[in-house]
Structure 1
Amino acid sequence: MQITRFIVLILTLVGFQSSSIFAQLIAEKDPSPVSGIRVKTIDNPILEEMSGLAFSKNHPDKFYTHTDSGGEAAVYVLDSLGSELGKITLEGVENRDWEDIAVGLGPGGKSYVYVAEIGDNLGIHQSVQLFRFPEPESCTKEQSTKPEILTFTYPEGPRDAESFFVDPISGDLYIVSKRDKNNTLFRLRSDDFGKADVVAKELVKLPFTSATAADISQDGSKILIKNYFTVYYWERDKGQSVAEALSEDPKELPYVPEPQGEAIGFRPDGKAYFTISEKRFDIDPILYLYLLTD
């Protein structure tokens, strides 16, 4: 086990561009988590403030990401090695403060991409929004789509949030607040799209603050929420709701704090997770891979 970790460290130091195949080989040799396999440095200035990542269900080797407030109203497609493949422009909306992204169920049981415009640093926005659109059939360099929009409020007024995921079992939509002492889990329904006067339902308080990103595995059995210093992890039993799972004490997973880490996402097989940071202190964003214990 220690030898395997030493090999990973050496490859990381010399700039090895790790692949999912390499990661799978390591997982077979070493069932413990491997900390911070450096996949790629993202040096495109357009992607300096990536604030979310979510792997595709229709294209398992690709993931979606977006930039933070003031960036393009676009979702970018990258592969698991961090190579840029294309851009999906969202028509008729702006990027006021996009903070997270997810892939989940939508109308007709099809796979949809969800973008969460839920950032509100000053707590001044009376309502916030979610956008969704069907996953594209192919990943072309340039395409566009007009998303559905869900506008909603919180039961006790404006909240800042940066963490969002969609339960693949129920189709429910979950948001985790950021600035309260104990972050709060809120729920919306998939069929809330198209409705008026939607209010998110408060569910449970969580044992940490400053949540910056979240994800759920594609089978719904594992959940991640991170802040700037820690990745929290829950295993969800069959038949258990998301709120019931998150009411239990989380485990803490390996994570090397990034300059401003605001994105996390499971690999499609649920056996690993990726993180990426926004650019800070002239350090370009780096895509990292962490392996999970079985």
Structure 2
Amino acid sequence: MALANKLKVITVIGALMACAIASSASTPSAAPAAEGFEYVGALLDPSLPELSGLAASFRRPGLHWALSDSGNDPALVAVDAQLVRQEVVAVEGVINHDWEDLASFEHDGEAWLLIADTGDNFSLRSEVSLILVPEPGPGQRQVAPGRVIRFRYEDGPRDCEAMAIDATRQRVLLADKGRHPVGLYELSIAGTDTDVRVARHLANFPDLVPTPPPRVQTLSGARWRGTATAMDLSPDGNMLIVLSTLSASLFRRGPDQDWTAALAQPVLSQRLPPLPMFESMALEIGGRSALLATEARPALFYRWSLPAP
């Protein structure tokens, strides 16, 4: 067979395999199971080539906002409860350097989204940013940032894929990635945005994967094992959920307890379904469950039923 014909055959076979994988991933029977996690469905949409952040809508029940990381458009994508894209909203005047997480909250009766442009794979960024936008309404195609909050870490550059906001206390929590132990940082967002702020180290997380690691693991996999890829915080600021490469973890703190003390308590962790690269997670409205998803297309979605206090 001529080389050109061989290449054509290989291309066709590859396309058929990709279609088969996408088709099978959209059915619950093809999705790996894990205790505590319910398979929801698959999202195969060109507007989300690398799903990196997820946040529940405070304006439209059942809707979630999503984003992709570096190399993709600075846009927010609305996805309904059936995992169908509703709209793509361009964020004006900013660049997607490396968007890694997304949070939603209410303040003074208004719904907001907070974008974490905090990815820094090689620890080269002297400063990173949080982009605050009002939550878009139905049919909206553009949104302008209300604030761009520039900051750095007190102990040097950090790669961060996990961010959560405590709107009542005007604090943002950030977890670094690729380091052991995983550090938890806090950033005040009160006041004006004229200067570069500083995120302070609060504490270190305990091991986010308390069960033994796989017997066979690459050096790269060992580096990322147990590092945070997403995070969310309950509206009262007292329940923190953290997603890692292998598990989902939950931390609670008492009314008079800080996060340093809360992280010193035993961690409640559940091993994820055996899939690569869970990258996004969001508390659902009501706080009884969380929605989490893998990064690559098709993104597989699961619902985590949170244990009662």
TM-score by length of 1: 0.82
Q: Hey, what's the Cα distance between the residues in 2 that align with 1:243 and 1:135?
A: 32
Match of 1:54 in 2: 55
Q: Hey, what's the Cα distance between the residues in 1 that align with 2:184 and 2:227?
A: 13
Q: CA deviation at 1:139?
A: 2.4
Q: Which runs of 4+ in 1 moved over 4 A?
A: none
What whole-Å deviation, never above 9, does each CA across 1:185-223 have from its counterpart, x for those lacking one? 111112255130311111101123421110112343321
Match of 1:135 in 2: 135
Q: Hey, what's the Cα distance between the residues in 2 that align with 1:257 and 1:125?
A: 33
Q: Hey, what's the Cα distance between the residues in 1 that align with 2:200 and 2:92?
A: 29
Matches within 5 A, 1:1-294: 12-13=28-29, 35-106=36-107, 108=108, 110-136=110-136, 138-140=137-139, 142-191=141-190, 194-208=193-207, 209-279=226-296, 284-294=298-308
Q: Hey, what's the Cα distance between the residues in 2 that align with 1:80 and 1:220?
A: 25
Structure 1: 5+ residue runs without aligned partners?
1-10, 16-32
What whole-Å deviation, never above 9, does each CA across 1:146-187 have from its counterpart, x for those lacking one? 341111111121111100000143231111111221111111
Question: Quick one: which amino acid aligns to residue 272 of structure 1?
Answer: S
Q: CA deviation at 1:287?
A: 1.3
Match of 2:10 in 1: none
Q: CA deviation at 1:243?
A: 4.0
Percent sequence identity over aligned pairs: 26
Structure 2: 5+ residue runs without aligned partners?
1-26, 208-225
Q: Which moved more, 1:146-155 or 1:189-198?
A: 189-198
Q: CA deviation at 1:87?
A: 1.9
Q: Hey, what's the Cα distance between the residues in 1 that align with 2:127 and 2:68?
A: 21
TM-score by length of 2: 0.78
Q: Hey, what's the Cα distance between the residues in 2 that align with 1:171 and 1:257?
A: 36
Q: Hey, what's the Cα distance between the residues in 2 that align with 1:67 and 1:168?
A: 24
Question: Quick one: which amino acid aligns to residue 58 of structure 2?
Answer: K
Q: Hey, what's the Cα distance between the residues in 1 that align with 2:163 and 2:43?
A: 23
Q: Hey, what's the Cα distance between the residues in 2 that align with 1:246 and 1:54?
A: 24
Question: Would the alpha carbon gap of residues 96 and 197 (structure 1) be closer, same or farther in structure 2, given more than 3 Å must change?
Answer: closer
Give the alignment's Cα RMSD to 1 decimal: 2.2
Question: Would the alpha carbon gap of residues 51 and 61 (structure 1) be closer, same or farther in structure 2, given more than 3 Å must change?
Answer: same
Q: Hey, what's the Cα distance between the residues in 1 that align with 2:182 and 2:303?
A: 26
1:126 aligns to what SS in structure 2?
A: coil
Bigger-Rg structure (1/2)? 2
2:58 and 2:106 in contact (8 A); partners too:
no
Q: Hey, what's the Cα distance between the residues in 1 that align with 2:92 and 2:180?
A: 37
Task: State the aligned residue count.
Answer: 262
Question: Quick one: which amino acid aligns to residue 48 of structure 2?
Answer: L
